[in-house]
Structure 1
Amino acid sequence: MSDVVIDDAARRAVELASETLQIEADALIALQARLQNEDAAGFAHAVRMLLSCKGRVVVSGIGKSGHIARKIAATFASTGTPSFFVHPAEAAHGDLGMITSQDIFIAISYSGEAAELMSILPIIKRLGVKLISLTGNPASSLAKIADVHLSLQVDKEACPLNLAPTASTTVTLALGDALAVAVLDARGFREEDFARSHPGGALGRRLLTYVKDVMRTGDAIPSVSPDTKLTSALLEITKKGMAMTAVVDTARNIVGVFTDGDLRRMMEGVCDFTQISIGDVMHTNPRSIRADQLAVEAVEVMETHRINQLLVTDEQGKLVGALHIHDLTRAKVI
């Protein structure tokens, strides 16, 4: 590959990119300092309000603030706090009906004077809805009428013209994340709760999939009795395609297992298989897992003991299923 030549235009672009990141990083550090000092009480008050909300958290903003508001609402919703975005212009034309007195309204406007947002706030206040404002101007109209105001103030935007919302939107997004994280922690939100909000994701599959959801059942379970001849047991192994068979008594209690690996080891010293019963050569005390355990736990057992199959039992220890590592792969648990 030939060396890339950095001309003056490219050098300027890299310098601007670096400066943009530095300005936004400085803005975040300033936000952190405020939260640890003058805005600490207000932030804590906002978190208490959000925790006590009996309705939904409604987030609103116009323009770039609206885009950030959508993301903040989505973050709250995915971390255990019912939330949605409402466009202030649409709210003025009927969508206010979505808001109830039990909700909390988060209004975002860097200037604190966005006309579309300010036009609906009197009605919001009349409903008795608690209001949290996020603005860059603590003396603004929006900041003054809010129950809690949190500052988004930045020294300058990353835009060379100091016009396009850049550093300010980064700070807004970060502050929204900070609120959501503080609330989820106080609420005791766990991995399992997150998975229920994200059933289509990898974490959802890991934490919401149980062994019973992916195991083989009924006639698909390879199983024989202890007195079954080894040759017949091998036919069962081949027929069921799991490279093993369970050995069970008449009550379906597991007494052993026989695998392809056991067969390979036997072939080194046994010439005549026709007279051997599976009970004579099976491996006793096989690894098993209950059907009501998480599938990810089955993965852990397999990896720990370097095996590819597991027998599945009910609470009484009776055989109810069989699990191959390929079943877990198909279910995208691993």
Structure 2
Amino acid sequence: MSKSAPGARVAPALPALPSALRAIEAERAGLDALLDALQNGLGVPFQQAVSLIAAAAGRVIVSGMGKSGHVGRKIAATFSSTGTPAYFVHPAEASHGDLGAIQADDVILALSWSGETSELSDLVAYARRFRVGLIAITANRDSALGREADVCLTLPKAREACPNGLAPTTSTTMQLALGDALAVALLEGRAFSSHDFRVFHPGGKLGAQLKQVRSVMHTGERLPLVSRGMRMSDALVRMSEKGFGCVVVVEDDGAIAGIVTDGDLRRHMQPDLMALTVDVVMTPHPTTVEPSLLVAEALEIVETRKIGALIVAENGRPVGLVHVLDLLRIGAV
């Protein structure tokens, strides 16, 4: 009778949801333990680690083996995207030439749950020989890695979500959370803004959301402007010509007086609508935004207030218009 190979796929004998709930509960317990540790002892070396990285003139060299290595790659990517230059070096490759990528003004962040990962030994020795700052993330302060580190971030013991207690699950979640905490502390420490963030994220949906409204707004002759006192029959012609489903009503001096939208037309639907003036139909004091507003923030305003267009204004005068379709067109939604 043949036997299945280890790890062969078989139909689950139990419902999947209870397993999922147990796994998430175990990982949540690990994060709770990490939060408690940061409030009771781990906070001091955490601050030391942030200070060491912030003072370094070079990069953060992140390294780890196995699952810790996968987490390390993500931490390095998060650092780099939030203004802390970082680079992942595989510990095995480090022993075969990649140590040359590490300079004296760098800081090494090494991840190992046990702290006894043999592949990290050459990296640790290199750091000590050339006095490169070394930060350890490990669960064992008295391990080879923990003893050699300038700063040891000791993770609290926690039960793995794996029922056998073997597969790195809770432990890697804790490593990842601590790496994110370092990145956030560093970006907040240097006042890294959303505008800075856009420099490193120009593509995709995130890049679209980090653009400023001025880059997508309609200006000049495209603006659907009408003057106070204009009859609705003429205003509707202007609304149809511009194609935004609204007209912006302005004072004689160009200041914004109000806006007439499709919704305003429905609310004032009556036989003499065309004979009314825009002053009667318009919504006064409409929502306006500045040209420097991020598209992501403009999108939130549009969705929260359930409006189709935003007037872009400077000194109370319209300088542009952004329609929800513009946000869809650039992929911000």
From 140, 143, 147, the equivalent of 2:146 is 143
CA distance in 1, matches of 2:139, 2:300: 50
Alpha-carbon distance between aligned partners in 2 of 1:266 and 1:30, rounded to the nearest angstrom: 60
TM-score for both structures, normalised by structure 1: 0.72
Structure-2 change in CA distance of 1:48 and 1:256 (3 Å): closer
Residue equivalent to 2:8? none
Aligned to 1:120: 123
Give the whole-Å Cα distance in 2 for the aligned partners of 1:195 and 1:313.
23
Q: 1:120 to 1:217 in 2, by over 3 A?
A: same
Deviation sequence 1:192-223 (CA, Å, 0-9, x none) = 655655455766644x3333222222332234
- Verify the 8 A CA contact 2:291 2:313 in the aligned structure 1: no
Question: Where does residue 75 of structure 1 map in the other structure?
Answer: 78
- Asked whether the 8 Å contact 1:256–1:282 carries over to 2, the reply is no
Deviation at 1:308, TM superposition (A): 3.6
Measure the CA separation in 2 of the matches of 1:140 and 1:189: 35
Q: Give the match's secondary structure for 1:41.
A: helix
- 1:323 maps to what in 2? 322
Taking only aligned residues, the RMSD between alpha carbons, in angstroms, comes to 4.3
Q: Trace 1:174-253 onto structure 2 (pairs within 5 A).
A: 174-189=177-192, 197-200=200-203, 205-206=208-209, 208-223=210-225, 231-246=233-248
Matches within 5 A, 1:28-177: 28-152=31-155, 154=157, 159=162, 162-177=165-180
- 1:6 matched to which residue of 2? none
- When normalised by structure 2's length, the TM-score is 0.72
After TM superposition, give the deviation of residue 147 of structure 1 in Å.
0.8
Which sections of structure 2, spanning at least 5 residues, go unmatched?
1-11
CA change 1:91–1:260 in 2 (3 A) is same
Q: Could you tell which deviates more after superposition, 133-142 or 97-106?
A: 133-142
Q: Per-residue displacement from partner, 1:140-196 (whole Å, max 9, x unpaired)?
A: 332222112233464765556554444443443333334334444444455665565
CA 1:271–1:191: 2 relative to 1, 3 Å: closer
- Whole-Å separation in 2 of the counterparts to 1:19 and 1:253: 60
Question: Tell me, which stretches of 5 or more residues in structure 1 are unaligned?
Answer: 1-8
> Which has more radius of gyration?
1
d(CA) in 2 for partners of 1:89 and 1:179? 25
Tell me the distance in 1 between the aligned counterparts of 2:21 and 2:297.
Answer: 45
Q: What secondary structure sits across from 1:105 in the alignment?
A: strand
Amino acid corresponding to residue 270 of structure 2 in structure 1: E
Output one character per residue of 1:263-294: Cα deviation in whole Å (capped at 9) or x when no partner: 66777353985xx9x68877596636355242
Verify the 8 A CA contact 2:94 2:122 in the aligned structure 1: no
Question: Distance in 2 between the 1:306 and 1:156 partners?
Answer: 46
What is the aligned-residue identity percentage?
45
| Partner Cα distance (2:19, 2:297) in 1 | 49
**Quick check: 1:57–1:81 contact (8 Å CA) kept in 2?**
yes
Number of positions where the alignment pairs a residue of Structure 1 with one of Structure 2: 322
Q: Is the 8 A contact 1:154 1:167 kept in 2?
A: no
2-structure distance, mates of 1:67, 1:30: 22
What residue identity is the alignment partner of 2:47?
Answer: A
Q: Aligned in 2, Cα 1:264/1:110: closer, same or farther, shift over 3 Å?
A: closer
1:292 and 2:295 correspond: no
